[in-house]
Amino acid sequence: MKKSINHLILFGLIQIILCTTGLGQSKVQPYAGLYFSGDAVMYYFGPSYQLGLDIPLKGNFLVNGYGQYFSAKAFRGRYEVYTTGLMIRYNFGKKSKRWYAAIGLAYQDTKEESDFWNDLIDRSIILPGYRMGYTFFSKKYIFHPELFAMGPYSYHSGNSTELFTLPSVGIRVKRRPSARIVK
């Protein structure tokens, strides 16, 4: 899990560099997100944090890269997940483009430590990721309330399946691109 924390720190540093240099004002749009997340059965739940980049493509498409961290404690246990991923997002509609959906691949590093459960989790997997939401605009910021999840994942020789490994509900926030870039 230490390797995953290092990846999250590196991703955060890249975000800070992009925001403080001229790159943050170009087509690359960095964002931060706060979510309410949980494991597949919601035994462990609480806040999770996400940093990412939106890169507009032609038409209604954009590429979304992100890193998300979730950690929670429950009765005699601890659950920790680090996820990175890349998605293609489609904005619906011709004029407003406010509703959107995205699909892509995610790398998820999960660890559970517990004195109570016998089958503990310690896995690193690649699985599909999904995102859907709506866009609100203010003068300075863009808000994206959304549903976000990865899955499905089968384990124990196919005897158990998690439909979503880390279902999340939350909001992403990014600066609204300025109409004029000052150099």
> Per-residue pLDDT tens for 3-51?
555 555 555 555 555 554 444 446 788 999 999 998 888 788 999 999 9
Give per-residue pLDDT as tens, 71-94: 998 887 888 999 999 999 999 977
- Residue for token pair 């016998």: 118
| Token pair belonging to 135 | 């866009």
In this structure, which topology does domain 2-175 adopt according to CATH? Porin (2.40.160)
The separation between CA 74 and the C-alpha centre of its own chain, rounded to angstroms, equals 23
Residues 6+ apart with CB under 8 A from 121: 79, 110, 111, 112
Confidence of residue 101 (pLDDT cuts 50, 70, 90): very high
pLDDT bracket for residue 156 (50, 70, 90): low
Domain boundaries, the chain: 2-175
| Mean pLDDT to the nearest integer, 153-160 | 71
* pLDDT band for position 165 (cuts 50, 70, 90): confident
Q: Return the percentage of the chain with pLDDT > 70, whole number.
A: 78
DSSP H or E segment with residue 121: none
pLDDT for 22 equals 46
> What SS3 class is residue 7?
helix
